[in-house]
Amino acid sequence: MRSVKFSRRGAVLATLAATLALAGPALAQDAPAGKLPVVATFSILGDIVKNVGGDRVSVTALVGPNGDSHVYQPTPAAAKEVAAAAVVFENGLGLEGWMERLVQASGTKAELVVVTKGVTPRFRTASEPQDDDEDEGGAEKTADAHKGHDHGPLDPHAWQNVANVEIYAANIRDGLIKADPAGADVYKANTDAYIAKLKTLDAQVRAAMAKIPAKQRRIITSHDAFGYFGDAYGLKLLAAQGVSTESEASAKDVARIIRQIKAQKIPAVFLENISDPRLTARIAKESGARIGGELYSDALSDDKGPASTYIDMIENNIREFSSALSS
Ligand code: ZN
């Protein structure tokens, strides 16, 4: 269990303040007059809340764009945000292991909304399709790949199935109406409009995946964040054996990955934590697989990036899958 730590506050606070300043949105503590101050635990959820809340709310994401919720530790500033909020939205399914302590520490009276309520959860361990030669204990790597995330048995990345985000939006709508009944009509209209966009997006994903030859719909990734995507849209995900998100791949790891790619005939590799371009180049050269572009799984990009909203994020990822797996 990852615990809330309020030590090391100087450095952490400075970092958080800088992040919030760069990220732009007003702090809940000084939400513009007349706006409902709300908090979302991470950037993707913050964007969904903005779509439902529209002009009536001021949204703060605790873990901002490009932020790593895997290693997040709440700060005193975060506790103040939560304390000042009228509604706090969290993903649940074990994503925010730090949330309960933060809520307690903040003493908030906010309405707490778990947006995955009603989503069919997927179990994250031993559920990844593992085929062919499993000679190196690959079955355990699914769990290993998210070390530090403290997820428990459920896969929290439900937002990677667009249909689930319709449920998120409905839960957010209901939470906002409870806190701000006067805005009910606005929240309902915003939700309907956003759900219409999500339905279009879902169809886009299906169309893009349908264009990829069935045999090509398989990737290796070091981060098991795309299980819901794979289940919903028919992409087979194979865990990179011997690589976790928190360690550098060794030469031995790389050799093992190359063998795995060849044996399982995987057309593309998305290894977020192999940042050394020489390693990436070597994997591509020796395995014949393509190296996929940047996928966004747990956080949005900043405003200038290709994934500054949830919808842009999904569009970015399907572009990357399509270009790496087609032909
Ligand atoms: Zn994750």
- Give residue-wise pLDDT tens across range 257-290: 889 889 988 898 886 555 566 777 778 888 888 8
Q: How far is the CA of 150 from the centre of ligand 1 (A)?
A: 10
- Integer Cα distance of 217 and 36 in angstroms: 44
Backbone angles phi and psi of 297, in degrees to 5:
-115, -50
Ligand 1 centroid – CA 32 distance (Å): 32
Q: What is the 130 CA–ligand 1 centroid distance (Å)?
A: 20
Rounded mean pLDDT, 167-179: 98
298 alpha carbon – ligand 1 mean position (Å): 5
DSSP assignment of 34-87: TSEEEEEEEHHHHHHHHHHHGGGEEEEEEE-TT--TTS----HHHHHHHHH-SE
pLDDT surpasses 60 at 18: no
Of residues 236 and 138, more confidently modeled: 236
Ligand 1 centroid from CA 146, angstroms: 7
The larger pLDDT score, comparing residue 310 to residue 294, is at 310
SS3 324: helix
Q: Over the stretch 67-120, which tens digit does the pLDDT of each residue have?
A: 877 678 999 999 999 999 999 999 999 899 899 999 999 999 999 999 999 999
* C-alpha of residue 75 to centroid of ligand 1, in Å: 20
Share above pLDDT 70 across residues of the chain, in percent, rounded to a whole number: 76
Q: Ligand 1: distance of its center to the CA of 320 in Å?
A: 19
**Is residue 151 very low, low, confident or very high in pLDDT (cuts 50, 70, 90)?**
low
Alpha-carbon gap, residue 175 to 162, rounded angstroms: 20
What pLDDT is stored for residue 319 in this prediction? Answer: 95
**What span, in angstroms and rounded, lies between the C-alpha atoms of 266 and 132?**
12
Tell me, in angstroms, the distance from the centre of ligand 1 to residue 297's CA.
Answer: 7
Residue 185 alpha carbon to ligand 1 centre in Å: 34
Taking the centre of ligand 1 as the mean of its atom positions, its distance from the CA of residue 66, in whole angstroms, is 12
Task: Give the E-state strand segments of 211-286 in sequence order.
Answer: 218-221, 236-239, 268-270
Q: How far is the CA of 18 from the centre of ligand 1 (A)?
A: 23
Q: How far is the CA of 189 from the centre of ligand 1 (A)?
A: 31
Q: Which two tokens stand for residue 32?
A: 């513009």
Q: Which residue has the tokens 């050269």?
A: 285
pLDDT(15) > 60: no
- The CA-CA-CA angle for residues 291, 201, 62, to 5°, reads 75
**Who's near 205: CB < 8 A, 6+ residues apart?**
162, 233, 314, 318
Q: Please say whether the structural domain 2-120+158-197 has been given the CATH code 3.40.50.1980.
A: yes
Give the per-residue pLDDT at 2: 33
Residue with tokens 């090509």: 216
Return d(Cα 276, Cα 124) in angstroms, integer. 28
Given a cut of 90, whether residue 234 has pLDDT beyond it is yes
For ligand 1, the distance from its centroid to the CA atom of residue 275, given in whole angstroms, is 18
Which alpha helices (H) appear in the chain, and where do they start and end? 9-23, 43-53, 76-84, 99-106, 141-144, 162-179, 184-211, 227-233, 251-263, 277-287, 310-325
Counting Cα atoms < 13 Å in the Cβ hemisphere of 18 gives 7
* Domain extents in the chain: 2-120+158-197, 207-325
CB-based contacts of 300, cutoff 8 Å, min separation 6: 43, 44, 47, 65, 66, 307, 308, 309, 310, 312, 313
More confident: 142 or 117:
117
* 183 CA to centre of ligand 1 in angstroms: 33
What is the distance between the alpha carbons of residues 168 and 40, in angstroms, rounded to a whole number? 12
| Span from the CA of 277 to the centroid of ligand 1 (angstroms) | 23
CA 194 remoteness from chain centre: 19
Q: How far apart are CA 164 and CA 121, in angstroms?
A: 10
Name the pLDDT band for 128 (thresholds 50, 70, 90): very low
User: Could you check whether 2-120+158-197 and 207-325 share the same CATH topology?
Assistant: yes
Q: Write down the mean pLDDT value for the chain.
A: 81
pLDDT of residue 29: 58
- Ligand 1 centroid – CA 223 distance (Å): 7
What spacing in Å lies between the alpha carbon of 30 and ligand 1's midpoint? 30
The least confident of 56-65, 135-144, 246-255 is 135-144
Burial class (CB in 10 A: 0-12, 13-18, 19+), 296: buried
Give residue 245 CA to ligand 1 midpoint distance, Å.
10
The CATH classification of domain 207-325, taken from the options 3.40.50.1980, 3.40.710.10, 3.90.1200.10, 3.40.190.10: 3.40.50.1980
- Ligand 1 midpoint to CA 149 (Å): 7
CA Rg value for the chain: 20
Please tell me the predicted confidence (pLDDT) of residue 152.
Answer: 72
CA of 48 to the centre of ligand 1 (A): 18
pLDDT of amino acid 264: 86
CB 114 within 8 A of CB 87: no
Q: How confident is the model at residue 176 (pLDDT cuts 50, 70, 90)?
A: very high
Mean pLDDT of 118-127: 77
Residues 6+ apart with CB under 8 A from 64: 19, 20, 22, 23, 43, 299
Of the two residues 163 and 14, the one the predictor is more confident about is 163
